[in-house]
Amino acid sequence: MTTTTLSRPDPAPAAGTGPKRVLHFIDGAHTAGTGERTFENRSPADGALISTVHEASRADVDAAVKAARAALKGPWGRMTMEERAAILHKVADGITRRFDEFLAAECLDTGKPRSLASHIDIPRGAANFKIFADLVKNVATECFEMATPDGKGAINYAKRVPKGVIGVISPWNLPLLLMTWKVGPALACGNTVVVKPSEETPTTTALLGEVMNEAGVPPGVYNVVHGFGPNSAGEFLTTHPDVDGITFTGETRTGEAIMKAAATGVRAVSFELGGKNPALVFADCDLDKAIEGTMRSVFANCGQVCLGTERVYVERPVFDEFVRRLKAGAEGLRLGRPEDPETSLGPLISQEHRSKVLSYYARAALDGATVVTGGGIPAMPADLQDGAWVQPTIWTGLSDDSAVVREEIFGPCCHVRPFDTEEEAVALANDTPYGLAAAVWTENLARAHRVAGQLEAGIVWVNSWFLRDLRTPFGGAKQSGIGREGGVHGLEFYTELKNVCIKL
């Protein structure tokens, strides 16, 4: 089979031309780099080869970091805040103008339904640039007048300055959205970036380089290197001495490894890590809303959402009805190709991840779970049998110390357990090393405030899920992360505060 060389990634190979190549984007140009190794990017829906991806060598990562450093000291660093903001608006407009191209690439890489990606991933991917471009222009610092011994006084004022070269390591579940959620504020604050997207979803991150050029972003401001973690692009980036900060979204164990690497040179880190998020369903809730919201929080994006719900605690008077209705909802989900408008659930990201999820399905059975629905591999049409499909699954009956209840699975599944008192529900929800998100379903206003205040989580939804003003702080407690993203809180990581003292 021949390989067609492209100056940029092409998410839709033409019949008979062979797989396309996804290249690095360094110093304003797509390049194969110096590395000789490539890896395959396959469709999670049917296993078909989408593209071959060039794996970055240490020299490639070094070239990207050097380009970022030069741009930081060059034209990007000399621009005014208003000039940078105007360019970032053009980047957002460029994504929107090429919406269909980004949508096709994202759906091919992830297998998620177009109905989901078209309403969330691509619009938010574009919006992240405008949000932070506008926000950074209106963030105040501080100014203090002080007395001095000579009576003439002094003025102290704070300036926000860029942190420098930022290493961005982004995940595969919401590739464009979560990557731009980091790149947007980083660039708005005047930093430059080197991005390593997940090896599972490289295409839109590489494609964005073309939009950056069209928008007038100077070469070296936005760089992309592809590869894996250990002994590959991830390790080369996180251990590079000229990277000033590292932002990462992904599993907690990987975050621990990155944190160790960042300790050399005392580099700053911003982490959004794993979760085992609870939902508390009280008997006084609007059950229709609770079922609809829990369906979304458990099964959206095939359960591959860091904020998703894997532990559901239901007050005993409504437990049986809740389980019955959640089962009916799960069994009504339609699995299929991303482009099918009837598809409501896509595949998992890869065969490797499916093996992990299925191992928990098997563990639940061994631990004596009652399988309410699912628990295995669905029967799919012949053209989809090589995809990473699993059944949406609901269990009851597991002990609180079961691995299925304690460990993050990241699949379309949940365990439902009854509770009798509010105090018990809060204790169960907090019995986890994680603390990313939680949902509370109740019509009792006092209870909503009381329980939300007691839950050990970075974000608590009441009678909703995945609803958040983007100006608010987002991040996890305990082993779910370090730092906050969103609004002015996200700017804290991407800037340093410099105090200037003027003697009068």
Beta bridge partners of 396: 370, 416
Q: Do 356 and 267 share a structural domain?
A: no
**Among candidates 109, 111, 88, 114, which has minimal Cα distance to 99?**
114
Domain that holds residue 301: 277-471
Q: Do 497 and 440 share a structural domain?
A: no
Q: Do 437 and 292 share a structural domain?
A: yes
Q: Do 490 and 459 share a structural domain?
A: no
- Residue 7's pLDDT is 33
Cβ burial 385-408 (10 Å sphere, 16+ → b, else e): ebbbbbbbbbbbebeeebebbbbb
Query: Does residue 107 contact residue 123 with C-beta atoms inside 8 Å?
Result: no
Residue 1 confidence (pLDDT) above 60:
no
Query: Does residue 357 contact residue 308 with C-beta atoms inside 8 Å?
Result: no
Contacts 24+ apart (CB under 8 A), 361-367: 361/390, 361/393, 361/413, 363/402, 363/403, 363/404, 364/395, 364/398, 364/402, 364/404, 364/415, 367/398, 367/399, 367/402, 367/403, 367/404
- Residue 35's pLDDT is 86
How far apart (Å, rounded) are the C-alpha atoms in residues 237 and 240? 5
Query: Which residues have CB under 8 Å from 450's CB, separation 6+?
Result: 422
Give the pLDDT confidence of 3-43 residue by residue, as tens digits: 222 333 443 333 334 459 999 999 999 999 998 899 999 99
> What is the count of structural domains for the chain?
2
Q: Among residues 272, 315, 408, 485, which one is catalytic?
A: 272
- Residue 4's pLDDT is 27
Residue 335 lies in a domain: yes
* Averaged pLDDT for residues 171-199: 98
- Residue 346's pLDDT is 98
Kindly state the tokens that stand for 365.
């059975």
Length of the chain: 504
Q: Do 130 and 236 share a structural domain?
A: yes
Residue 179 confidence (pLDDT) above 90:
yes
Q: Do 197 and 328 share a structural domain?
A: no
Residue 316 lies in a domain: yes
Residue 359 lies in a domain: yes
Q: Do 451 and 304 share a structural domain?
A: yes
Q: Among residues 107, 189, 302, 306, which one is catalytic?
A: 306
The CATH number given to whatever domain includes residue 454 is: 3.40.309.10
As a 3-state breakdown, the chain gives helix, strand, coil percent values, each rounded to 5, of 40, 20, 40
Give the pLDDT confidence of 361-418 residue by residue, as tens digits: 999 999 999 999 999 999 999 999 999 999 999 999 999 999 999 999 999 999 999 9
* Averaged pLDDT for residues 167-172: 98
Give the pLDDT confidence of 328-366 residue by residue, as tens digits: 999 999 999 999 999 999 999 999 999 999 999 999 999
- Residue 470's pLDDT is 87
Q: How many CA atoms lie within 13 A of 244 on its CB side?
A: 18
Dump the DSSP string for 144-162: EEE--TTSS-EEEEEEEEE
How far apart (Å, rounded) are the C-alpha atoms in residues 441 and 430? 16
Residue 272 phi/psi, 5-degree rounding, is -120, 110
Burial class (CB in 10 A: 0-12, 13-18, 19+), 143: exposed
Q: Do 411 and 309 share a structural domain?
A: yes
Q: Do 285 and 232 share a structural domain?
A: no
pTM above 0.85, yes or no: yes
* Averaged pLDDT for residues 281-298: 98
Q: Is there a catalytic annotation at residue 306?
A: yes
The CATH number given to whatever domain includes residue 118 is: 3.40.605.10
Q: Counting runs of H as helices and runs of E as strands, what totals does the chain give? A: 17, 23
Of 12-26, 206-220, 282-296, 363-377, minimum mean pLDDT range = 12-26
Q: Do 452 and 366 share a structural domain?
A: yes
Please give the share of the chain, as a percent, with pLDDT higher than 90.
94
How far apart (Å, rounded) are the C-alpha atoms in residues 475 and 271? 8
Q: Is there a catalytic annotation at residue 492?
A: no
Provide the 3-class DSSP secondary structure of residue 479: coil
Q: Do 441 and 319 share a structural domain?
A: yes
Q: Mean pLDDT in the chain?
A: 95
Q: Do 491 and 467 share a structural domain?
A: no
